[in-house]
Amino acid sequence: MSYRAPVRDMLFVMKELAGIDALAQLPGHEEAGYDTAAAVLEESARFNENVVAPLNQPGDTHPSVFHAGRVTTSPGFKEAFRQFVEGGWQGLQHPVEFGGQGLPKLIHAACAEMLNSANLSFALCPLLTDGAIEALLTAGSHAQQAACIPKMVDGSWTGSMNLTEPQAGSDLSLVRTRAEPQPDGTYKLFGTKIFITYGEHDMADNIVHLVLARVAGAPEGVKGISLFICPKVLADGTRNDVHCVSIEHKLGIRASPTAVLQYGDHGGAVGDLVGQENRGLEYMFVMMNAARYGVGIQGIALAERAYQHAVAYARERVQGRPVDGSLTRAAPIVHHPDVRRMLMRMRAHTEACRALAYVAAAAHDAAHAHADARVRQENQTFYEFLVPLVKGLCTEMALEVASLGVQVHGGMGFIEETGAAQYLRDAKILTIYEGTTAIQANDLVGRKTARDGGATARAIAARIAATVRELEAAGSAASGSMARRLDAGRQALVDVVEYVVREGKERPNAVYAGSVPYLMLAGTVVAGWQMARALLAAEARLAAGDEGAFMRAKVATARFYAEHILVEAPTWRERIVEGAESVTAFELEAF
Ligand SMILES: Cc1cc2nc3c(=O)[nH]c(=O)nc-3n(C[C@H](O)[C@H](O)[C@H](O)COP(=O)(O)OP(=O)(O)OC[C@H]3O[C@@H](n4cnc5c(N)ncnc54)[C@H](O)[C@@H]3O)c2cc1C
C-alpha cells in the first residue's frame, strides 16, 4: 500500500488552528503564508510518496550492513538522500545565511511528518542533522557555524548526537567519555558511545558528531559535562580517531544504522569545544528539545501511515455479514462496527496529535520571531510545556495506533508481508529514544509544572475554558458533546496540577508514581482542545456552505475524540490522585 500525504488535513490544521496567516505577519516570515505552505507541502508530498516511501519495506528486509568499520545503508538510501538534499529539504527551516530557506518550523513540521511517514529509518538522518544545526546555532562560535552548518544544509555532511554510553542512558550525569585539553586549544576525546543513530553511514562525506564528554578535573554529575564537535573527517582531510566498531540488530527501524563508536583508541579523537566547558548538557538540551519534538512528529507520521494501511485493508478484506443485515453476503470488514471503531480511534488519535504538534510548532515560531518580547516569552513557555506532551503522547499513541493497525489486519497483520507489522515494530523505539516516556513525564512534572508553581498549566486550562464556552454557544449536538468532555478533561487537569504542586515536595514518590499518567492526561486534554477548535472551525465552514465532505469528517472525528478518548481524562486523574499508594505500597523485595 503506497503512502498518500494528508496535505488537506495538514493545511487545515495550519490555517484554522496554528494560525499560519498570523505567522506570515511576523518579521522574517512574510513569505511563509498559506499559499507558500500549500506549494511546499504539495512538492514535499510528491517527493516523499514517489522517492522515499518505496524504500521503506525494502529497507526493513535489507537493513544497513556493517563491514570492516564501514556501514552500507539500505538499497536506494544514498541516492534518495542526494535527491533530498538537492531538493533543499534539509535546509527548509534553517537560516538563509547558511544556505537554508528560513521557513517556519510549522511548515517544516508537516514536511518532516511526510518524510517520516514515508520512511522512518531514512528520516532519522535528517532529523539528527537538524538537531545538530540547532545546537550549533545556539551555542556554536561563528567559526564553528560557518564551518559546519552550510555543509550540513547542503548534505555533504550530516550530524549525529553522542550522549549514550553503556552506563549512561537516561542518566547523563554518568557520562564518562574523557576530554583532554591540548596546547593548540583543541581537545582529545577518549571513550565509548553506544546507540548512535547514523553514527556511521555512506550517505555523506563527513559526519559532525556532537559529543558529550568530561574535561579532566571537571565536577562530578551534570555540571561537569561539556559539548564537543568531533568530525569523522578532519579539516585537513585525515580520518579522526573515532571509529564505528559495530551496529545493532534491532526490533524495528532496521534500516537506520545504530552505531557503537569508539573514541580515541589510536591516540585521541580531535574535538572542538562548543561554548564553554561544563555547560554541555545545557547546550545539548537545545538539540534534545529539537529532537524530542522531531520524535513526536515521527509518532504522528507512523500513525498516519498505519492508519492508511489499515483503511485500505479494511475496504478489501471480505469477512462476515454486517450485523444490521444491510448485505446478505459477506462484506468488506470496514462494515463491522468494531472495525470502524478501531479505524476511528486510529484516525482521531492521529489528527489530534497532528494538531497538538503543529500548534506547538507555531508557538516555537512566534517565540523566535514575534516583535514583542512579552509575546515571545509567552510562546516560549507554552512551547516548552508542549514539548514533553508532543514527544510522550504522540509516541505512545503511535504504538497504540500501530497495534490497532495490526488488529485490523487480523492474522495478516502478524505476518510480515502486509507491512502492518513493520509499523508496530518501528513504533516501539519512539517511546524509548530521546528520553523514554517516563523521562518526558519527569520533565513535565519537575521543570514544566512544579518549577513555576503550575502557572503555565493553569494558563492553558484558562484558554481551554474559553473554548468550552465557545462550544456551548455553538449549540450543535457535536459541540455540546465536546463541551462536556473537554470541560471534564480541563477540570481533571487542573485537579492534577494542584496535586502536583501541593504534594511535590512532601510526597515525591506519590507524585512521580503518577508522572506518566499526568503526561497522558495533559496530552489528551490539550490535544482534545485542538480537536474542539477544529470542530468549531469545521462547523463554521460548513455553515458558510463550503467543503462538505472534509469538514463533515472533521466534525465526526472530533466528536469521536471527545466521546472515546477525552472521556478517559477523569480516569487518568483518578489514577494519579487516588492511585499513587498502590504503586508504591508493594514492597520492593516482593517483585
Ligand atoms: C535504536 C536506538 C537509537 C538511539 N539513538 C541514539 C542516538 O542517536 N544518540 C544517543 O546518544 N542515544 C541514542 N539512543 C539511546 C537512547 O536515547 C536511550 O536508549 C534512552 O535514552 C534510554 O536509556 P537506556 O536505554 O539506558 O535506558 P535506561 O535509562 O536504563 O532506562 C530503563 C528504564 O528505566 C526507566 N527510568 C530510568 N531512569 C528513570 C527515572 N529517573 N525516572 C523514571 N524512570 C526511569 C526508563 O523509563 C526505562 O523504562 C538510541 C537508542 C536506540 C535503541
What would the grid cell of residue 217 be? 578535573
pLDDT at 525 over 90: yes
Burial class of residue 373, CB neighbours in 10 A (0-12, 13-18, 19+)? exposed
| C-alpha Rg value of the chain to the nearest Å | 24
CB 150 within 8 A of CB 144: no
Q: Is 258 close to ligand 1, i.e. is its CB under 6 Å away?
A: yes
State the average pLDDT for the chain: 96
What are the DSSP E strand ranges found in 149-186? 157-162, 178-181
Residue 231 DSSP label: E
Q: Is 114 close to ligand 1, i.e. is its CB under 6 Å away?
A: no
What is the structure's pLDDT at 31? 85
Which of 161, 195, 281, 516 most suits a substitution to test ligand 1, by most atoms within 8 Å of the C-beta? 195
d(Cα 258, Cα 244) in Å, to the nearest integer?
A: 10
Block residue for cell numbers 564537543: 228
Helix (H, G, I), strand (E, B), or coil: what is residue 516? helix
∠ Cα 504 508 512 (to 5°): 95
Name 271's bridge partners: 187
Q: 451, 456, 463: which is closest to 490 by C-alpha?
A: 463
pLDDT at 419 over 70: yes
CB 391 within 8 A of CB 434: yes
What is the atom index within ligand 1 of the atom nearest the CA of 442?
Answer: 42
Burial class of residue 407, CB neighbours in 10 A (0-12, 13-18, 19+)? middle
pLDDT at 1 over 80: no
Q: How far is the CA of 437 from the centre of ligand 1 (A)?
A: 10
Q: Is 196 close to ligand 1, i.e. is its CB under 6 Å away?
A: yes
Contacts 24+ apart (CB under 8 A), 235-238: 235/147
d(Cα 589, Cα 510) in Å, to the nearest integer?
A: 19
What would the grid cell of residue 200 be? 556511521
d(Cα 128, Cα 296) in Å, to the nearest integer?
A: 14
What is the structure's pLDDT at 289? 82
Q: How far is the CA of 292 from the centre of ligand 1 (A)?
A: 13
pLDDT (tens digit, 9 = 90+) per residue, 69-89? 999 999 999 999 999 999 999
What is the atom index within ligand 1 of the atom nearest the CA of 169?
Answer: 26
pLDDT (tens digit, 9 = 90+) per residue, 484-493? 999 999 999 9
CB 46 within 8 A of CB 112: no
Phi-psi region of 191 (alpha: psi -120 to 50; beta: other; left: phi over 0): left
Q: 485, 494, 489: which is closest to 558 by C-alpha?
A: 485
Q: Is 432 close to ligand 1, i.e. is its CB under 6 Å away?
A: yes
d(Cα 468, Cα 413) in Å, to the nearest integer?
A: 40
Block residue for cell numbers 511535590: 504
Q: Is 459 close to ligand 1, i.e. is its CB under 6 Å away?
A: no
Residue 161 DSSP label: E
Count CA within 13 A, CB hemisphere, residue 448. 24
Tell me which of 165, 396, 434, 539 is the catalytic residue. Answer: 434
pLDDT (tens digit, 9 = 90+) per residue, 45-64? 999 999 999 999 999 999 99
The set of residues, in sequence order, having a beta carbon less than 8 Å from that of 156 and lying 6+ positions away, is 204, 205, 206
pLDDT (tens digit, 9 = 90+) per residue, 455-471? 999 999 999 999 999 99
Q: Where are the alpha helices (DSSP H) in 218-336?
A: 280-316
Count the helices and strands in the chain (H runs, E runs). Answer: 20, 10
Residue 372 DSSP label: -
Q: Is 435 close to ligand 1, i.e. is its CB under 6 Å away?
A: yes
Tell me what the mean pLDDT of segment 280-294 comes to: 86
Query: What does the longest C-alpha to C-alpha distance in the chain come to?
Result: 85
pLDDT at 254 over 80: yes
Is 434 among the catalytic positions? yes
What is the structure's pLDDT at 285? 79
Q: Is 63 close to ligand 1, i.e. is its CB under 6 Å away?
A: no
Residue having the nearest C-alpha atom to atom 2 of ligand 1: 195
Residue having the nearest C-alpha atom to atom 32 of ligand 1: 170
Residue having the nearest C-alpha atom to atom 43 of ligand 1: 438
Q: How far is the CA of 555 from the centre of ligand 1 (A)?
A: 39
What is the structure's pLDDT at 250? 97
Q: How far is the CA of 316 from the centre of ligand 1 (A)?
A: 40
Burial class of residue 568, CB neighbours in 10 A (0-12, 13-18, 19+)? middle
What is the structure's pLDDT at 376? 97
Q: How far is the CA of 169 from the centre of ligand 1 (A)?
A: 5
What sign results for the dihedral spanned by CA atoms 382, 443, 254, 344?
negative
pLDDT (tens digit, 9 = 90+) per residue, 5-22? 999 999 999 999 999 999
d(Cα 212, Cα 168) in Å, to the nearest integer?
A: 11
One-letter amino acid for residue 492 of the chain: A
d(Cα 165, Cα 532) in Å, to the nearest integer?
A: 43
Q: Could you give the percent of the chain with pLDDT greater than 70? A: 100
Q: 199, 226, 212, 253: which is closest to 432 by C-alpha?
A: 253
d(Cα 161, Cα 155) in Å, to the nearest integer?
A: 17
Q: Is 162 close to ligand 1, i.e. is its CB under 6 Å away?
A: yes
Q: How far is the CA of 465 from the centre of ligand 1 (A)?
A: 37
Residue having the nearest C-alpha atom to atom 38 of ligand 1: 170
Q: Is 197 close to ligand 1, i.e. is its CB under 6 Å away?
A: yes
What is the atom index within ligand 1 of the atom nearest the CA of 197?
Answer: 8
Residue 335 DSSP label: G
pLDDT at 105 over 90: yes
Q: 350, 375, 372, 371: which is closest to 363 by C-alpha?
A: 375
Alpha carbon of 583 to those of 195, 393, 394, 509, 511: distances in Å? 31, 21, 25, 9, 11
Q: Is 112 close to ligand 1, i.e. is its CB under 6 Å away?
A: no
Q: Kindly report the number of other CB atoms within 10 A of residue 70's CB atom.
A: 11
d(Cα 21, Cα 15) in Å, to the nearest integer?
A: 7
pLDDT (tens digit, 9 = 90+) per residue, 363-393? 999 999 999 999 999 999 999 999 999 999 9
Residue having the nearest C-alpha atom to atom 25 of ligand 1: 169
Q: How far is the CA of 544 from the centre of ligand 1 (A)?
A: 50
CB 310 within 8 A of CB 420: yes
Burial class of residue 83, CB neighbours in 10 A (0-12, 13-18, 19+)? middle
d(Cα 492, Cα 490) in Å, to the nearest integer?
A: 5
pLDDT (tens digit, 9 = 90+) per residue, 124-180? 999 999 999 999 999 999 999 999 999 999 999 999 999 999 999 999 999 999 999
d(Cα 101, Cα 87) in Å, to the nearest integer?
A: 11
CB 127 within 8 A of CB 90: no
The set of residues, in sequence order, having a beta carbon less than 8 Å from that of 380 and lying 6+ positions away, is 363, 367
Q: Is 64 close to ligand 1, i.e. is its CB under 6 Å away?
A: no
What is the structure's pLDDT at 513? 97
What is the atom index within ligand 1 of the atom nearest the CA of 171?
Answer: 29
What would the grid cell of residue 493 be? 487537569
Q: Is 161 close to ligand 1, i.e. is its CB under 6 Å away?
A: yes
CB 164 within 8 A of CB 154: no
